[in-house]
Amino acid sequence: MERFGRRAARVGAAGLAAALAIAGCSGQALEGNDSSTEGGQVTLKVNFWGDMGLDQLKAKYEADHPNVKIVLNSGEYNAQHEDLQKKLVAGSGAPDISAVDEGFIVQFRSQADQFVNLNDKGASSFESKYLPWKWQASQSTDGKQIGLGTDVGGLAMCYRTDLFKAAGLPTDRDAVSKLWPSWDQFIETGKTYTAKTGKKFVDSATNLFNPVLSQQPVGFYDQQETLQMEGGPKAGFDVAMKAIDAGLSANLASFQPNWDQGFTKDQFAVLACPAWMLGHIQKTAPNQAGKWDIAAIPGGGGNWGGSWWTIPKQGKNVDEAYKFVEWLVQPEQQIEVFKKVGNLPSQPELYQNKEILDFKKEFFTNAPTGQIFATTAANLKPQYLGKKNGPTRVAVENVINRVQQGQLKSADAWAEAVKEAEKASKS
Amino acid sequence: MSLTDVRAMRTEEPKHAPPPRAKFWLYRFDTKTVPYLLIAPFFILFAIFGLFPIIFNGVVALRHWRLDDPTLTGWAGMENFTKLASDTDFWDALVNTFGIFILSTVPQLLIALMLANLLNRKLRGATFWRIGVLLPYVTPVAASTLVFAVFFSRDYGMANWLLSLVGFGEEQPLDWRATTWSSWIAIATMVNWKWIGYNALLYLSAMQAIPKDVYEAAAVDGAGPWRQLWRITVPMIQPVVLFTVILSTIGGLQLFNEPMLFDENPALANGGYDHQWRTIAQLIYKVGWRDLNLGYAAAMSWALFLIILIVAAINALATRRLGGGK
């Protein structure tokens, strides 16, 4: 008991706030339900991580729907998914609406019975609007639709123009893209940078492994859920090892305090960035406005992350929740989210939308983020992510990190990675 | 036992002057039932929050229960436990747990003893010092561990800055989380920091109960302070030593917060990229809430429970011998 109490403290302010919100809101939701006979006041609790650009949309929706109160609860990425899983098992306490990321969607769609089948609520009319693979990814094998897609994470490469300039590298985004059509050329560029400046080039070798892996036709698992280490994972692993051996990695764990510090202390010059990463960079290093730009990713294509809005069945106000979700995925709102935090919609029609195509992000040296990410998303070849994709990725990343820490020789690392991945696939 | 003894003696008394019937029943109720009513709240709460979870956990340990795959359910028998016996993760975690346990408990109790011995002398502002050593204990463990996690960070950590003052690691700063020994030392430091003051105060209170004339007699016989500490103080506070040893055994073997928060990404419950400092409690968390394999996690919890019982018993026996023989 006490241990779980302490764990709540562990996730820090965000988690604590989340716990408080859970305690507070479940009560409010109940009250809302009681009074629904009288005034019809409904409270909707929305769980997600990071910044999904909902703050203003919430106010707007509440103004249009005076009977609805929306409670936004942003937490840590892993914690939010684990929390949802626990609440589904417990049968109560889940939020009215929960964001689910690509990395967890397979796990949750296999429990489709726990979610409202959005097709029953009329979501099937949206099918034609979505990228086909985005629509299918949140569908259970028996055709239940558990989520409506929000964004996709088509990849680009963010880089620091000021650091590039200091290293004598080109700074124009087209010229930079030409530096690295392939990952080998990317590593050569990194060597030049490191030789000139004595600084590290990338934040972590794991953030090379993941993009390269996502560009491969088959990831960790094939459609039959068999572990396939020799294909995609090997390609990504080799690039990661080359980067470590060349001394390019700053060895910072992503989304952790040291990583955030790495931004402000110029510890790395490039970062593989899906559209949603732009928001994180802006938030972490607000004083670096105009010092970032966005070039093409080596190798071309690839996807990292992207989410769905789901409605757990146990909620008291699933109809109101669906109305809100339906409103959220309308083009107008999707465009607003894109402008605010950069998340790229998963509805291809919007890739032709003038508002998106003309949009330029001041923070990223006026890079036309709409054009850049719309192109990557349209050309995306989706990869099947197995049920055990999450733990397997952690296991292989652990091995890469051991090499980065100098505790494992890069020559021995692949055998170790295969061993650990097999273990994780059986966990 | 003692309750019934008392009652047996009392019931004989009314022979001399039998009280009125109503009063007799009231009296019987008072002596027979009220004591149980008074202690009942504890036992009821214990049954709900202590006993029931333990038994329920035991049942879960004998079942398959996976949150990510509801179809995998049913009776498992001893399967989880046989799997445990050949699970290298479990045995590695056990080694880590014991390694950190020894690195934290032994220095912790020894330093606490020295500290208590110092505090037991005539000091200026004695209360100030005595309260002062308790401050780390009052600090919430999550807060202090987060500070320590930064303290031991590789790039801008204070620990490395201190080391660099003595000329160590200027070329290549020490990555505390990379190797086994450095991570164990870092975690043991957090545990020691928190508990030394607490144990010192326990020792101090026991020491103050020792009559001064024993020391005077020893001093007359020519025993120095060191000899007095080990030959008089320690044997005479032996019950408290026993208590602290058992308590730190339980705490040490259940170590969770410190290794968990020491990780770069605590949500993964890795305990280091090679799991070099993953403790059993952490492994249980990982198996239960990351792998979502509750049956197996429950089996691990029971194994940990048994291990703690055994180690605590061994420690208790060893500590009894500490003062008893002499």
Q: Are residues A106 and A135 in the same domain?
A: yes
Q: Enumerate helices (H) and strands (E) in chain B, giving the number of each.
A: 18, 2
Mutate to test the interface with A, among B84, B156, B172, B264 (most CBs of A within 10 A): B264
The token pair that represents B277 in the structure block: 């400092």
Is A78 in Cβ contact with B68 (below 8 Å)?
no
**What is this model's ipTM?**
0.80
Claim to verify: residue A294 and residue A310 sit in the same structural domain: no
What is the chain A residue with the closest CA to B68? Answer: A107
Query: Mean pLDDT throughout B137-150?
Result: 91
pLDDT, tens digit only, all 427 positions of chain A: 334 444 434 434 333 333 333 343 333 333 334 333 345 789 999 999 988 989 999 999 999 999 999 999 998 888 899 889 889 988 899 999 999 999 889 889 988 999 999 999 999 999 999 998 899 999 998 899 999 999 998 899 999 999 999 999 999 999 999 999 999 999 999 999 999 999 999 999 999 999 999 999 999 999 888 999 998 999 999 999 999 999 999 999 888 888 999 999 999 999 999 988 998 898 899 999 999 999 999 988 888 889 999 999 999 999 999 999 999 999 999 999 998 888 999 999 999 899 899 999 999 999 999 889 988 887 788 888 888 888 899 999 999 999 999 999 999 999 999 999 999 998 7
- Give yes or no: residues A93 and A202 share one domain: no
Q: How many domains does chain A have?
A: 2
Q: Do residues A89 and A238 share a domain? A: no
Residue B74 to chain A, least CA–CA distance (Å): 16
**CATH number of the domain encompassing residue A384:** 3.40.190.10
Indicate whether A104 and A139 sit together in one domain: yes
Cβ–Cβ of A107/B68 closer than 8 Å? Answer: yes
The partner residue sitting opposite B264, judged by closest CB among A110, A258, A394, is: A258
pLDDT of residue B112: 95
Residue B287 DSSP code: I
Buried b (16+ CB within 10 A) or exposed e, A355-371: ebeebebebbbebbbbe
Examine the domain organization and report whether A241 and A371 are in the same domain.
yes
Chain B hits for A257, Cβ within 8 Å: 150
All structural domains of chain B: 2-78 (no CATH), 81-324 (1.10.3720.10)
Burial of B44 (0-12, 13-18, 19+ CB in 10 A): exposed
One domain for residues A18 and A31: yes
* Joined tokens for residue B319: 């500590």
Residues A288 and A374 both lie in one domain: yes
Q: Which chain B residue's Cα is nearest to A88? A: B67
Domain that holds residue A144: 2-152+305-357
For residue range B12-60, list pLDDT tens digits in order: 555 566 667 888 888 888 888 899 999 999 999 999 999 999 999 999 9
Write out the two tokens for B52. 């029931």
- Full-model pTM: 0.82
**CA angle B170–B171–B176, rounded 5-degree value:** 70
Claim to verify: residue A212 and residue A107 sit in the same structural domain: no
Residues A257 and A108 in one domain: no
